[in-house]
Amino acid sequence: MENPHDSFHFLFNPRSVAVIGASPNPLKMGHQCLLSLQGSAFPGPIYPIHPQEKEILGMPAYPDLQQVPGEVDLAILTVPASGAISALQACQKKGVRGAVIITAGFREIDNSEGEKLQEKMAAVANQGGIKIIGPNTFGMVNIHANLNASFTPIFSSLKPGPISVISQSGGVSHLIAYQALDDGVGLGKVIGLGNRCNVDFADLLPFFARDDQTKCLILFIEGLEDPKPLIAAIKNLAPQKPVVAMKAGRYSASLKAARSHTGSMAGRYEIYEASLRQAGAIVMPEPDELLDTAKILSMLPPPAGRNVAVMSFQAGPGILLTDAVVRHGLRMATFSGSTQEKLNYLLPPLTIRTNPVDMAFARDERAFEETVHLILHDQNVDALVIFLLHHPFMTPRRIKDPVLRQKQRSGKPILLCANSPRGLIAEEIQELETNGIPVYSLPDQTIKALKGLIQYGEAVKREKR
């Protein structure tokens, strides 16, 4: 039997790609796929397959796969459903290792015809050792390999990073990837499973265990015939690499829709949620929280406990952060007597020197750094959140050096909640994140991400017991 690691390797790291269904018409998926591949600067040869055209988008085209001069590792299929099986048979003949089948009209159709076609597809693929992403998918990307094998060219602009995504919904994959583009968060692989012909969540998780480029995995689940293999795979993976998961279809109205879409039983939300959590996944209720949480999990080890300290230069946002800490079940740390005594001496008696600490009237840098130092070295504190509001007087650059110095002297997580009009501080955020300080924009968002990190630590501890 072929080593599954190897099969997935060529699927995600092909040396050459063919697009079966390539088209000179920009309104065709096969055209957009070529734009995606070109845009991502894929280093190997790209072979458009088209019955008549000699050249598409400046690339020599071939009438069929057999005419392609070299080997083809990955094929992207955008042909109609009726032609998909014969295209896949051609792939098998050519020795293709992986296929992205964008074509829709299989099991998701509410009749037995689609189901049968997909079974045949799986049989051909398995016989040829071809791993299929899809059918009925937007495709997939592997940013580390400069591979955008999707019908969405803008994914080529994604920054490489340690977070990978496996999603049953193409739409939600896009939501997450667009957020990553906006927030400058790096991604590794983004995979739209589609109808999961012969590659499902549970098949991919062992691959991600070995994938050094992925430090944290995001799963978006609509519904599975049998969730047990996935739950078992998460149980294996999670202690080593954090898994952030979301299950759609929480209520009967949405469950019905999820069932229609996936062509499979969606399953009760509560059972999924409990099983995912028990297996060690961090379950989030909203798609934007998946990426926010994965970011911190890919950057920092979890803190020892739930006690949070807050520092801000404006009282209002400090209060919002405090509200969020309590609402999300974390605790506002009570400083030790010795810390409190030193803070009372260090900071003027104008406002709040207890947690949340209001730094409004203590803007000199020595006092700021000493406050960070005292808080981080208090045994009652597990993590520190600093709020910073954009102003000409105050940008992240202003606090960067003291925060990084103190971070080096303490293993505790420091998060920055830096609120600013978009884009003004992108470089400063980048620099802080490169140095292990995750930056978020809103108080609630910051605390939810921190909670995810803490929950992961608790899940790992539970596992070890």
Among positions 263-322, residues that touch a copy of itself (CB under 8 A) are 286-288, 312, 314-320, 322
Which stretch in 37-45, 257-265, 296-304, 451-459 sits in contact with a copy of itself by CB under 8 A?
A: 257-265
Residues 88-147 that bind a copy of itself (CB under 8 A): 104-105, 108-110
CB 163 within 8 A of CB 293: no
Residues 20-79 that bind a copy of itself (CB under 8 A): 26-27, 32
What gap in Å lies between CA 222 and CA 26, rounded to an integer? 31
What gap in Å lies between CA 144 and CA 386, rounded to an integer? 32
Sort residue 160 into left (φ over 0), alpha (ψ -120 to 50) or beta. beta
Sort residue 225 into left (φ over 0), alpha (ψ -120 to 50) or beta. alpha
Verify binding: residue 426, a copy of itself, rule CB under 8 A.
no
Q: Which is nearer to a copy of itself, 121 or 246 (CB)?
A: 246
Query: CB of 406: closest distance to a copy of itself in angstroms?
Result: 23
Q: In DSSP terms, which residues pair with 139 in a beta bridge?
A: 150
- The tokens for 238 are 């999670």
Sort residue 399 into left (φ over 0), alpha (ψ -120 to 50) or beta. alpha
Which stretch in 139-147, 242-250, 339-347, 451-459 sits in contact with a copy of itself by CB under 8 A?
A: 242-250
Dihedral, 338, 341, 343, 345 alpha carbons, nearest 10: -140
What gap in Å lies between CA 328 and CA 43, rounded to an integer? 46
Q: Which is nearer to a copy of itself, 81 or 243 (CB)?
A: 81
Match 């924009």 to its residue by tokens.
441
Query: CB of 302: closest distance to a copy of itself in angstroms?
Result: 22
Q: Which is nearer to a copy of itself, 114 or 242 (CB)?
A: 114
# chain residues binding a copy of itself, by CB under 8 A: 76
Verify binding: residue 251, a copy of itself, rule CB under 8 A.
yes
Which stretch in 83-91, 245-253, 367-375, 405-413 sits in contact with a copy of itself by CB under 8 A?
A: 245-253
What gap in Å lies between CA 341 and CA 353, rounded to an integer? 10
Q: Which of 325, 381, 439, 454 binds a copy of itself (CB under 8 A)?
A: 325
CB proximity list for 134: less than 8 A, separation 6 or greater: 77, 99, 100, 101, 102, 103, 192, 193, 194, 195, 197
φ/ψ of residue 350, rounded to 5: -70, -50
Query: CB of 393: closest distance to a copy of itself in angstroms?
Result: 7
Verify binding: residue 345, a copy of itself, rule CB under 8 A.
no
Verify binding: residue 401, a copy of itself, rule CB under 8 A.
no
- The tokens for 410 are 């303490």
Residues 142-181 that bind a copy of itself (CB under 8 A): 151-154, 167-172, 174-175, 178, 181
Q: Which of 54, 93, 159, 327 binds a copy of itself (CB under 8 A)?
A: 327
What gap in Å lies between CA 130 and CA 74, rounded to an integer? 9
Q: Which is nearer to a copy of itself, 352 or 404 (CB)?
A: 352
Verify binding: residue 365, a copy of itself, rule CB under 8 A.
no
Query: CB of 413: closest distance to a copy of itself in angstroms?
Result: 20
Per-residue binding string, a copy of itself, 199-238, x by CB under 8 A, is ---------------------x-x----------------
What gap in Å lies between CA 301 and CA 147, rounded to an integer? 30
Q: Which of 78, 164, 371, 420 binds a copy of itself (CB under 8 A)?
A: 420
Strands 160-167 and 216-221: parallel
Verify binding: residue 261, a copy of itself, rule CB under 8 A.
yes
Query: CB of 153: closest distance to a copy of itself in angstroms?
Result: 7
Mapping DSSP to helix (H, G, I), strand (E, B) and coil, where does residue 414 land?
A: strand
Verify binding: residue 248, a copy of itself, rule CB under 8 A.
yes
Which stretch in 42-50, 225-233, 391-399, 428-436 sits in contact with a copy of itself by CB under 8 A?
A: 391-399
Which stretch in 61-69, 117-125, 371-379, 382-390 sits in contact with a copy of itself by CB under 8 A?
A: 382-390
Strands (E), 277-413: 282-283, 307-312, 331-332, 357-358, 383-389
Q: Which is nearer to a copy of itself, 120 or 328 (CB)?
A: 328
Query: CB of 373: closest distance to a copy of itself in angstroms?
Result: 22
CB 131 within 8 A of CB 198: yes
